[in-house]
Amino acid sequence: MHNNYYFLVPLSHELDSLLRGTVISECFSQNKDELIVRFETLSEPFFIKASLEPAFSCLSFPSNFHRARKNSVDLFPILIGQRVLDVHPFENERSIALVLSNDLTLLFKMHANRSNVLLFEHDTVTALFRNNMSADEGLHLSTLSRTIDWSGEAFVQHQGNLRALYFTFGKVTWEYLSQRGFDTQSLDGRWQLIKIVREQLMFHHSYFIVEADGMVYFSLLPVPGALRKFSNPLEAINEFFHTYTHRAAFVRERQAAIASLREKLKGSENYYQKTFEKLAEVERDTNYKTWADLIMAYMHTLQPGQETVTFPDFYNDQNTITIKLKKDLSPQKNAEAFYRKAKNQHIEIQRLQQSLETKEKEMARLKQEIATLEASTDLKTVRAEVGRNPVFAVKEKQPVPLPYHEFIYHGFKIWVGKNAQSNDTLTLRYGYKEDLWLHAKDVPGSHVLIKHQANKPFPKDVIERAAELAAYNSKRKTETLCPVVVTPRKYVRKRKGDPAGAVVVEREEVILVVPRLEGEH
The string of pLDDT tens digits covering residues 395-427 is 666 778 899 999 999 999 999 999 988 999 999
Q: Is 472 exposed, middle or buried (0-12, 13-18, 19+ CB in 10 A)?
A: buried
Q: Whole-model pTM?
A: 0.59
Residue 399 counted as domain residue? no
Looking at the structure, do residues 366 and 427 belong to the same domain, yes or no?
A: no
Looking at the structure, do residues 414 and 382 belong to the same domain, yes or no?
A: no
Look at the alpha carbons of 295, 298, 299, 304 in this order and tell me if their dihedral is positive or negative: negative
448 CB-near residues (< 8 Å, 6+ apart): 414, 415, 416, 417, 437, 438, 439, 466, 467, 469, 470, 473
CA separation (Å) from 170 to 25, 87, 110, 219? Answer: 36, 24, 13, 10
Residues of the chain with pLDDT under 70: 317-318, 394-397, 519-521
Q: Point out the domain boundary residue: 78, 113, 143.
A: 143
One-character DSSP codes across 494-518: --TTPPTT--EESS-EEEEE---S-
pLDDT in tens, 324-372: 888 888 888 888 888 888 888 888 889 999 999 999 999 999 999 999 8
**Are 225 and 176 spatial neighbours (Cβ–Cβ below 8 Å)?**
no
**Are 339 and 372 spatial neighbours (Cβ–Cβ below 8 Å)?**
no
**Are 230 and 204 spatial neighbours (Cβ–Cβ below 8 Å)?**
no
Q: Which of 430, 429, 428, 450 is nearest to 438 (CA)?
A: 450
Pairwise CA distance, residues 20 & 494, whole Å? 65
Looking at the structure, do residues 433 and 369 belong to the same domain, yes or no?
A: no
**Are 502 and 421 spatial neighbours (Cβ–Cβ below 8 Å)?**
no
Residue 152 counted as domain residue? no
Structural domain of residue 373, as residue ranges? Answer: 265-392
State residue 404's pLDDT score. 94
Q: Point out the domain boundary residue: 115, 143, 171.
A: 143
State residue 391's pLDDT score. 77
Looking at the structure, do residues 11 and 133 belong to the same domain, yes or no?
A: yes
Looking at the structure, do residues 409 and 375 belong to the same domain, yes or no?
A: no
Residue 245 counted as domain residue? no
Q: Point out the domain boundary residue: 369, 392, 415.
A: 392
